[in-house]
Structure formats: structure tokens, C-alpha cells
Structure 1
Amino acid sequence: MSTSTTPAPSTETRRRNPLGAILRIPFGWQVLIGLALGIILGLVAAQMGPGSGEDGANWLTTVLDTIGTIFVTLLKALVPPLIFLAIVTSIANLRNVTNAARLAWKTLLWFAITSLIAVSIGIALGALTNPGSGSGVDRSTEAASSTQGGWLDFLTGLVPSNFLGITGTAGDDGSVTLGFNALQILVISIAVGIAVLKVGDKAEPFLKVTGSALAIVQKLLWWVIRLAPIGTVGLLGNAVASYGWEAIGQLGVFTLDVYAGMLIVLLVVYPVLLKLNGLSIGSFFRGVWPATSLGFVSRSSLGTMPMTQTVTERMGVPRHYASFAIPLGATTKMDGCAAIYPALAAIFVANFYGVPLGVTDYLLIVLVSVLGSAATAGMTGATVMLTLTLSTLGLPLEGVGLLLAIDPILDMGRTALNVTGQSLVGVIVAKREKILDQAAYDAAARTSFSAIQAEESAQAEADAAEADAATDGADGPREKQSATA
């Protein structure tokens, strides 16, 4: 009996296929290489000085800006359908869950608890370090944000202007730029999801379409996420080239405060909450790492949402609950953007303009952070939440411009904390409601992007086979209570 083996590719063959060699590098290492390359190219671009372009940027800065803009644009293009399909599907998935209402309010309660802790840490750090006092920031950088976050704007923004949540902005040259309001899409999605529950069996064909469409959108998003290392080069490189380390130096205390607060929440508060609920700290951080690292480089909680949901399910959270909690958290659960950052930013602006803050003002910061975090769904980043906080306290909105120079650098840490907190709440609620697969959680291990993507494809095929079996009259679709670790 003879056996044949496929010869391993020779060194010469591997040398002729550099793309294959690059793709074999683990995704995490690709991201780290992108971070390092972005910093190096950004420093080189800064040393090159101004160019001949209309905006004064040299060719390397323009290239970096273009790469980063394309990556962010691709993410934004998929966000509207992702929000709608994920929310509608997740609400519809609750129709077979007996304790759906209890799970929903417990999730919101833990969102509020963790946000309260995070904003309290931000206020404490701000009170101790007084960011904004003698920062050396040039007053010429003052600029009010074009997007305001007052409570009236927030309330009127809840009302959809059209079914798709599309908005249009007219430019000075007469051109019209189309965008979307994620908050309005969220409202529309919740309304449609509830309507699906009320309609009952007649909505089954609609749910099949939305389920298939969601799988397609998520596949497209996976492809965009594969570009994250390249996008990181452009985003970070452009930030370093445009602002350099000078802006960080001028806002050094504020920058350190924001990252110190996020690290305290990430490495102290979250582990304490895990321990209080009888959960292994190591298992959680090993399991959530792919989402945390992707959130750091993508700077988009919504763009990271499929990864966040996948790692949460891998840690033993039932799919029927994870598919509800994670999409909801991606639009409303923001420990970084809506808690630590606006609290410290408000204190910075108050100190910069010499406006004293009293106990009432600090209580208002807490209230805004806990109740107003959904306002961040209207924009990418934390600008809306910051203007909402400043307007509530009566502080100058021009203070927003003082902090924009370092916002891209801060946004990386904010998003990483956001997605980690979203997964944390899902795990804690599942544990407290006794629906967590403890064995899967304890066995959670760090894994690669490729392994998660392969598992997602296998799960999609299994779901399709199950749906076909149900259509052929076999046993009804079986709800998956846990994912394979």
C-alpha cells in the first residue's frame, strides 16, 4: 500500500508569494505592526513639513489621511444596515424566551451601574489633577462643534425624519452630503422589532429575509475588518503627522487622566465585578481580547459589534441573549465615550475658562453620563456626548475645539473600553440569570481572528441546515444556549 504526501512549499515558492506570507501572520501581530508603522510614517510625515496642497499637507500626510478615511468610510457604509438588521433580529429572537423582559431590564441596570462607576472615577481623577489649569493650550484652537448635543437636540433626534434615518447636509458649493443618524435608526429598529413580535407567525417570512441579510452584512463587515491593520497605519499615521506630540504635551495631564481612568476601569473595576459574580478574571480577558484589540484599532463600537457578539457567545453566553445585549450595548453602553471622557473633558473646560464647579455640577455630570449615553449613537466618537455635558453645565461649547487635536488618540482607548464593557455586562447578566455555560466560560482562551471567522462561517452553515430541516418538517429550530469555546 503506497501513500502520497503533498510536498511542503519550498523556500523559493514562499519567497515568490509575499502576500501569502503576510496573511499567515496572526491578525493581532498585523495590527501591532500597523500601529508601529503608523507612528513611524506619521513622524516622517511631520518632519517633511508642509506640502504644496491646498490644505498645506505633504504627499505622505495626504496618503495616510486617504487610507484612514477609506477604512472609516467602509465601516460607516455598513453601520446603518447592521444596526437595523441586528436590532430587529435580536428583538425577534426574544419571542421564544420566557424571561425576556427580565433579561432586558437587568441588562440596562448593569449598563447604568458600570457607567456610574466609570463616571465617578473620571470625576475623582479630574478633581485630583485639575486638567486644564495652566495647560498652555492656545486659545486660537477654540471652536464650537458643528454637532450639538443639547437635551432638546437629543429628544428631537429620537424622532426619525424618514424610515431609513438618512440625513442630508448642504455644502457651501451647493453639493448635498448624505449621512445617517444612528440614534434614529435605533428607534426605527426597536419599533420594527416590537411590531414583529406583535404580528407573530405572519412575520416569519420577513424574519427569514432579515436573518439572511444580516448574515450577508456581517460577512461584508468581516472583510472590512481584515483591512484594520492597513486602516490603522492611515488613521494613526495621520493623527501623528497632523498633531504630533506637541498637542499631547500641551494636553498631557488630560491625556494621562483619560487613559488612567480607562485603565482603572479595565484592570480594577471589571475584575472586581467579575470576582463578585464568581467569574474567572483570566478567562474573561482571554476571551474578550479579540474584540478589545479590534475596538482599539477600528475606533468603532458598531463596527466591532459582530466580533464583540462572537467572543461573548464563545464565553458561554447564550446566543438568544447575546444577540440582544450586544447590539443594544453597541449603541448605548459607552464607559469610555460617555462616562470617563465627558466627565474629565467638562472639568478641563471648566478649569480652562475659570468656571468653578460645585456639587450640583458634578451630580449633573453623573446624570448626563448615566442617562444620556445613547446620544453617542448619533455620531462616531464622543463629540455629541461632550457637547451634551457642556450644555447641561452651561460651559462654553467652544471648549470642544481645545480637545479635538488629541481626539483620535483618545478614541482608540475609549472604544476598546466600550466593547470590553459591553461583553462584560452580557457575561455578568448571563451568570446571574443562570444561563451562562460555565464550562465554556472557564475554557475560554485567546484565539486568532481567522479562527473566529472560520467558526462564524461554520455556525452560519449550521444555522442554514437547521432552517432547512425545520422547513422540511423536522423538529423546530433549536435555540442554541451556548457557543463552542
Structure 2
Amino acid sequence: MENNLLTALENNWITLLVSAVLLGGLYFLAKKRVGFGTRVLVALGLGLVAGILFNNFELETEGVGTIGSIYINLIRMIVIPLVFVLVINSIISITNIEFLRKLSVKTIAWFLATTGVATIIGLLVASAINPGAGFELTTPENFEAREVPSFFKVILDQVPSNPISDAAEGKVVPILIFALFIAVAIVKVGAKNPDSVQPFKAFIQSATVILHQVVKFVLRFTPYGVYALIAVMAAKYGWETLEPLAMLIAVSYIALILHFIFVFGGLVTFVAKVNPLKFFRKAYPTIAVAFTTRSSFATLPINLEVMTKRLRISPKIASFVAPLGATMNFNGCGGVWPAVVSVFVAQVYGVALTATDYVLIVVVSVISSIGVAGVPGPASISTTVVLTAVGLPLEGIALVVAVESLIDMGRTAVNATGTTVTALLVADSEGEFDREAFNRGDEDDLELNPA
């Protein structure tokens, strides 16, 4: 046992030394003022290559994983205060209640519409390629099916009872709702007695500026965190794990990419009338961070920076849409994934899906994407709800758990990009999108180089 421990420690030191050299290279690029998006892309490539080598030589990656965990913890550190302050600041800047109502309706409508289309794409691609054909039925021994909370319990869990406790537990939706109450109260009281709310409004506005600076500090670690997260992911999965489910992985990513290109690209091109290549290039930091962190909440700070600094969306639109999107916009997790898994499970168990089943999958996917807002593991819950609604065996979920983390990278990237696209569409419809500045590309980079 002692020898095993020494071997593990030696392996960790090897991976840490290799990683230290590569991270030093990333720091050198930052000092040379190489763009943030470019450095994230380089970090992703380095992490992939390093992870494959670590896997081939059976090296431990716990030390490298700690670097990634530190980055994620720093992101989580700022999410709750950022959501609280930004939601309040966004709403108190909107003096017109009718405008707030329109903003809410448009945002949620785009979220649900794109999720519905994502589900249809998932069904079409999975049905055409048949990922479950010839699959050997094997269920992991340690699999435990997730319990689906009732609709009323989900609603109750989102209502804040103790904001301090909710914040400590990282519950974003209750904090968002609490912030909404505070913001609306400020607007109502301020309409009658502006002087009474002015000190608190000044505090919120000051806190917003300060938190934006904290976000910049944290986001400077992004390339290093991306490297560590990708290296650990690549080291964890060997071909032996992926081979039986390679077709499911391929189908999932084909559906996600089609949704990304045609739905998001189409909306940006024909609705917002923006060059899609320029849009996706500017939105790249959001896509890359979402892909590597696999967390919409972790992507929230960078998405806000991208929306306001690179896409030139009004801060009051971005501050409203981005936190809401992180909690209820699940094009990948609640749209594509449940659809693909439903077809896969039906094929594995020899269940013939009817036209009614397909319609039911789309409807339930859209509804469940709202119901799981704020619930940990929304993809698993949404998929469980859909399989239950269609009458497919829940044991089928156990067949995909081995590769779900790998697919979750693409799902989260689609989720976060969908929020960015929605913010653009809403901002453009309300005259809150600076098209000229977007086309000029002024201050195009996030300037997240070390001082």
C-alpha cells in the first residue's frame, strides 16, 4: 500500500511538472498580449494533448485536477453576489415596468422556442443514424436512478426562505427571485420618494463596478483552468470507455453542431441581421469556457463580459438575460440530450416510437426545461422526466452515464451560446444593441492579460 501511495505521489509530481511548463507557456503568451480567446484555444489544445499522454502512461492527475477545481471555486465565489447585484442594477435602471414585462416575455419565449427546435433536431438526427442499433445491453453495477422531484417540490425549492442560507448553498434561482423583489421594491418606493432609495441604489451601482473588476481578476485564470479541466477529462476517458458508445457521442455532437450552426446562425443572420461569423468569433470566449467548465453558472461572468464588451449589448439587457439564461435556458441539456437518449433507449430496448411519442418528447422537453431550473444536474432530470412521460425504461439512463460528462461539454456550450444569442435578439428588438460599435470591433478583446 505504501508503494502504491509513493507511486501515486510520483505520478502526480510528473503531471504537475509537465503542467507547470505548459502553464508557463500560457503565461508567456499573456505577457506578449496574445488575445484572451486565442489563449483559451491554445490551453484547450494543450490540455487535450497532455491528457491523452497522461492516460497513455497511466499517470495520476489529481494534482492537475486541483488547479481546475481552484478555478471553478473562484468562479463560484463570485456567481451569487454577481447575480444579486446585476439583477437589481438591471431592473432599477428600467423605470418603465411595461418595458420590463416585454423583456421578460421575449427572453423566456426565445428560450423555450429554441429548446423546442433543439429537441426536434435531436430526434431527427438520432432517428436517422440509429445510435442504439446493435448495442449490447450492459448496465453499470453502481448505477442509481435519480429521483425525479415533483413539480410542486421544484417550485417550492425555488422560492427563497432564507436568502443567506440559499446564498451559502449556492442556490442561484432563490437569490435571483429575492433580487427581483428588492429591485421592484426600489422602483416602487423610488417612484414616490426618490431620496429614500438613493443611498441603496448608489451602493448597488458601486458594487456592480467593483464586482466587474473582481470578475476580471478571476477570469485571468481562465486559460490555466481550461488547461487543467481538459487535461483531467482527456486523461480520464480512454478508448475502451468510449468505443461502445462512440455512435451515441457522434449523434449527440452532430445534433448539437446542427443546432449551433443552423438555429443560432440562422437567428443571428436573419433575425438580428448580424454577420454570424463575426458573432461567433466575438462570442468564442463564452463558448470555450462553457465547453471546458461544463457549467452555465461558471460561464456567467465571462458571458456578461462578452455580451457587453464584445457584442455591444446594453448592460441592462445583458444583466437581465444572462442570469436568467444560466438558470432556465437548456437547449443542449433539456432539448437535444433528452431527445437523443429517448431514441437511443427505445432502440436498445426494442420499443417502437410513434408520431404521438415524438410530439410528446418535444412538449415534455420544453416544459421540463422550465421545471428543472435551478435543480442540480438538469440534463439527468430532464431526461428522466421525458423517459417517464414516454414510458421508456429508466434503466436506459445507466447506459449513457459513462460518457455523459464528455457530451456535457457540448451541451453546456450550446446552452450558454443560446443565452448569448437570445440577449442579442432581445437587445436588437428593443434598440439596445450598438450595431455600429459591433461592426467596428472597437475594444474587441477582453484585455484579460496580467498586469
What TM-score do the two structures reach when normalised by structure 2? 0.82
Letter in 1 for 2:36: F
Letter in 2 for 1:46: N
Partner in structure 2 of residue 189 of structure 1? 179
SS of structure 1 residue aligned to 2:169: strand
| Cα distance in structure 2, aligned partners of 1:137 and 1:209 | 59
Displacement of 1:255 in angstroms is 1.0
Matching residue within 423, 426, 433 for 1:426: 423
Q: Deviations over 1:217-246 (max 9, x none)?
A: 343333332222222233222223222232
Matching residue within 342, 345, 350 for 1:346: 342
Unaligned runs of 5+ in 2: 1-23
| Cα distance in structure 1, aligned partners of 2:50 and 2:449 | 31
**Correspondence 1:231-310 to 2 at 5 A:** 231-277=225-271, 278-310=273-305
Unaligned runs of 5+ in 1: 1-16, 50-57, 168-177, 455-485
**Correspondence 1:68-467 to 2 at 5 A:** 68-96=68-96, 99-136=99-136, 138-140=138-140, 143-146=143-146, 148=148, 150-164=150-164, 166=166, 179-200=169-190, 201=194, 202-277=196-271, 278-313=273-308, 314-374=310-370, 375-379=372-376, 382-444=379-441, 447-450=444-447
Partner in structure 1 of residue 28 of structure 2? 21
Query: Is the Cα contact below 8 Å between 2:342 and 2:387 reproduced in 1?
Result: yes
Are residues 91 and 21 of structure 1, via their aligned partners in 2, closer, same or farther at CA, if it must alter by over 3 Å? Answer: same
Displacement of 1:141 in angstroms is 5.3
Asked whether 1:40 is paired with 2:49, we answer: yes
Q: Deviations over 1:421-447 (max 9, x none)?
A: 212122222323344333123334793
Query: Is the Cα contact below 8 Å between 1:248 and 1:406 reproduced in 2?
Result: yes
Letter in 2 for 1:351: Q
| Cα distance in structure 2, aligned partners of 1:191 and 1:360 | 41
Query: Is the Cα contact below 8 Å between 1:286 and 1:444 reproduced in 2?
Result: no
Letter in 2 for 1:106: K
Displacement of 1:264 in angstroms is 1.0
Are residues 45 and 361 of structure 1, via their aligned partners in 2, closer, same or farther at CA, if it must alter by over 3 Å? Answer: same
Displacement of 1:288 in angstroms is 1.9
Letter in 1 for 2:237: Y
Aligned pairs, how many?
A: 419
Are residues 239 and 292 of structure 1, via their aligned partners in 2, closer, same or farther at CA, if it must alter by over 3 Å? Answer: closer
Q: Deviations over 1:288-341 (max 9, x none)?
A: 223222322332222222332333234343222222222222222222222112
Query: Is the Cα contact below 8 Å between 2:65 and 2:232 reproduced in 1?
Result: yes
Letter in 1 for 2:94: L
Between structure 1 and structure 2, the one with the greater Rg is 1
Q: Which runs of 4+ in 1 moved over 4 A?
A: 17-20, 451-454
Letter in 2 for 1:418: N
Are residues 75 and 357 of structure 1, via their aligned partners in 2, closer, same or farther at CA, if it must alter by over 3 Å? Answer: farther
Query: Is the Cα contact below 8 Å between 1:286 and 1:446 reproduced in 2?
Result: no
Partner in structure 1 of residue 19 of structure 2? none
Displacement of 1:161 in angstroms is 4.3
Q: Deviations over 1:364-420 (max 9, x none)?
A: 322233233242433266333333333444444443333232233222222222222
SS of structure 1 residue aligned to 2:37: helix
Q: Deviations over 1:186-224 (max 9, x none)?
A: 333333333333332333333333333343334333333
Displacement of 1:179 in angstroms is 3.3
Are residues 415 and 442 of structure 1, via their aligned partners in 2, closer, same or farther at CA, if it must alter by over 3 Å? Answer: same
| Cα distance in structure 1, aligned partners of 2:225 and 2:28 | 20
| Cα distance in structure 2, aligned partners of 1:184 and 1:358 | 39
What is the Cα-based RMSD across aligned positions, in Å?
3.1
Identical aligned residues as a percent = 31
Q: Which moved more, 1:193-202 or 1:107-116?
A: 193-202
Q: Which moved more, 1:394-403 or 1:405-414?
A: 394-403
Are residues 437 and 448 of structure 1, via their aligned partners in 2, closer, same or farther at CA, if it must alter by over 3 Å? Answer: closer
Partner in structure 2 of residue 469 of structure 1? none
| Cα distance in structure 2, aligned partners of 1:143 and 1:446 | 49
Are residues 436 and 65 of structure 1, via their aligned partners in 2, closer, same or farther at CA, if it must alter by over 3 Å? Answer: closer
Query: Is the Cα contact below 8 Å between 1:137 and 1:251 reproduced in 2?
Result: no
Displacement of 1:359 in angstroms is 3.1
Partner in structure 2 of residue 13 of structure 1? none
Q: Which moved more, 1:284-293 or 1:207-216?
A: 207-216
Are residues 323 and 64 of structure 1, via their aligned partners in 2, closer, same or farther at CA, if it must alter by over 3 Å? Answer: same
What TM-score do the two structures reach when normalised by structure 1? 0.76
Letter in 2 for 1:258: S
Displacement of 1:146 in angstroms is 4.8
